[in-house]
Structure 1
Amino acid sequence: MIIISILLIGLVLGAIACGAPLYTIIGGSAALLFKFVADGKLSFILTDMKKVMTAPGIISIPLFVFAGFIFAESKSSSRLIRLSDAMIGWMPGGLAVVTVVVSTIFTALTGGSGVTIIACGGILLPALIKNQYDDDFSLGLVTSAASSGVLFIPSLPIIIYGVIAEVDVSLLFIAATIPAILIMTILMMYGVYYGAKTKVPTTPFSLKNLLESLWEIKWVLPLPLIVVGGIYGGFITVSEAA
């Protein structure tokens, strides 16, 4: 077994050095371990793969990804940022709180934090630095603020876990809500503390600006309410919501 482990580690390192895709390295390593260490049949892997790919909930993944790309390409991120800034930009550390709120919502709608960092980071990071936020703080906030959104509907990792573990995905989303809100709250509280401590500039509240921002995003706001309310209320399944 030691020899097999050494050979496998060498094979993995060689594949990484050759630039092989990560999914092939992980999948190939798992298949080899299953074959030589667990003494299993590779046909079992194909059977389980077919079982997972034909599960009812798996259809929601490409649909949510497609919806996320539409949301990202429609420039909704800039409108969402303007709305959040009009609502809470007046408070100490308001732009930091806006970053957390926008990143969380955008990640929840797109299903992945990477899309959020690309779509929103290019707008939020320069804005934070321009408003006298520290460079390290700004970079850390932009890259970490989306983490809580991964736990909200429609989180792709939760859907994949639910399908593979054969657990009700709707119940997983309900269970992840409190931890997600807790992470989001802690980040916002730290943003307020940092803003009050460093006395960074804030955005004056304007009712006119708020109403204009709401009007710009009027077609996007109902979507998360329909999806989240439908799943949490038990009116629709995750696949139907997608």
Structure 2
Amino acid sequence: MNALIIFSLLLALMLTGMPISISLGLTVMTFIVTMTQVPIESVALKLFTGIEKWEIMAVPFFILAGNFLTHGGVARRMINFATSMVGHFHGGLALASILACSMFALVCGSSVATVVAIGSIVLPAMVAHGYPMRFGAGVIITAGSLGILMLPSIPKVIYAISTNTSIGALFVAGLLPGIVLALMLAAVTWWIARKNNYPRLARAGWGDRFQAFRKSFWGLLLVVIIVGGIWSGAFTATEAAAMAAVYSFFVAIFVYKDLKLSDVPKVLRDSANMSAMLLYIITNAVLFSFVLTNENLPHQLADWLLS
């Protein structure tokens, strides 16, 4: 009965258009105050314990790294490299966007940042070359979702913190499925492009490919550092996030020089705003998990499923 009340209230609040984080928090507070004897002080304590874990620092660091990479020209250089490698196939620009999204997702961990960074550059180029807007937008949005599977995935960090699961194990577990999904998406995109005779770019020479690789090297190196470091156990996900943020700042300011020091405060503000939003969701999710556990709902649900 309690489970029905909790989830019905949560669903009703979400159907009103209320943000998920506020819906979770309001559901928890309403249920605790009216249906339980849980001291309200324990709720306040649980709010802070939800965000005091060391692992949660990975969230703002990866967001900061993604913003530095987006504003620092890394996405544009990755797109140029991807285009030089696969642009001559049917649907070359679409395939390049998938490859670029896969590489960018491996360094920023955010689907939204991946779609914005890659899509803002590739989509106008695809339309200019004669691709339908619907096709181009669909490819980029779908490829951007790889950020959820690829490490370092911010949603995985949030899930791991909310459920006390190993972040490193989740990262490693999602890498192979992410690669397989990217390959399947590329195959479907190529087939549709070939069927509809979408334009192909001229084949780039090995000299052009090397130049594109050289210009994107510093961004691609971050992929190797993060994936290799977490895979080998050289550092934790939180340490990888901190290193990614510092590395991205250095590359954007001193190597590519597409970002000025005067632009850094804006990048920090944008990162802080997004981090605060995600941390608020995490605290309410942890509180919701506390209520479910306190009411013994997971065991009741398991018994119901097994009966």
Deviation digits for residues 136-170 of structure 1 (CA, Å, limit 9, x no counterpart) = 21111111111122211111111111122111111
Q: Is the CA contact (8 Å cut-off) linking 2:105 and 2:151 kept in structure 1? A: no
Deviation by residue 1:112-153 (Cα, 9 ceiling, x = unmatched): 111222222121112222232222211111111111222111
For 2:233, the equivalent position in structure 1 comes to: 234
Q: Out of 46, 49, 66, which is 1:48 matched to?
A: 46
Measured at CA, do residues 65 and 13 of structure 1 come closer, stay the same or move farther in structure 2, by a change above 3 Å? closer
Tell me what 2:189 maps to: 191
2:55/2:237 contact within 8 Å kept: yes
8 A Cα contact 1:113 1:147, kept in partner: yes
* Pairwise CA distance, 1:188: 0.5
Percent identity between the two aligned chains: 26
C-alpha displacement of 1:10: 11
Pairing partner for 2:167 from 157, 166, 169: 169
Is 1:72 paired with 2:89?
Answer: no
**Residues 153 and 173, structure 1, Cα contact 8 Å, conserved in 2:** yes
User: Which of 54, 57, 60 is equivalent to 2:55?
Assistant: 57
Match of 1:33 among 31, 34, 43: 31
2:231 counterpart letter in structure 1:
Y
Specify the alignment match of 2:110 in structure 1: 112
The letter of the residue matching 1:94 is: G
Corresponding position of 1:82: 80
Go from structure 1 to structure 2 and tell me whether the alpha carbon gap of 1:99 and 1:34 turns closer, same or farther (over 3 Å shift): farther
Aligned to 1:99: 97
TM-score (normalised: structure 2): 0.69
In structure 2, the residue matched to 1:133 is 131
How far apart in 2 are the matches of 1:198 and 1:117?
A: 24
Q: Secondary structure at the match of 1:104?
A: helix
Q: Residues 54, 137 of structure 1: CA spacing in aligned structure 2 closer, same or farther, 3 A cutoff?
A: same
CA contact (8 A) 1:105 1:149 kept: no
Identify the residue that residue 284 of structure 2 maps to in structure 1.
Answer: none
Offset at residue 33 of structure 1 (A)? 2.8
**Distance apart, 1:82 and its partner CA:** 0.4
CA distance 1:11–1:86, change in 2 (3 Å): closer
Q: What amino acid is aligned across from residue 222 of structure 1 in structure 2?
A: L
Does structure 1 conserve the Cα–Cα contact (< 8 Å) formed by 2:91 and 2:200? Answer: yes
Displacement, 1:178? 2.6
Alpha-carbon spacing, 1:221–1:32, altered in 2? closer, same or farther (3 Å): same
RMSD: 2.6
Specify the alignment match of 1:200 in structure 2: 198
Q: TM-score normalized by structure 1?
A: 0.86
Structure 2 stretches of 5 or more lacking a match?
Answer: 242-307
Q: How many residues in Structure 1 have an aligned counterpart in Structure 2?
A: 237
What letter is aligned with 1:144?
T
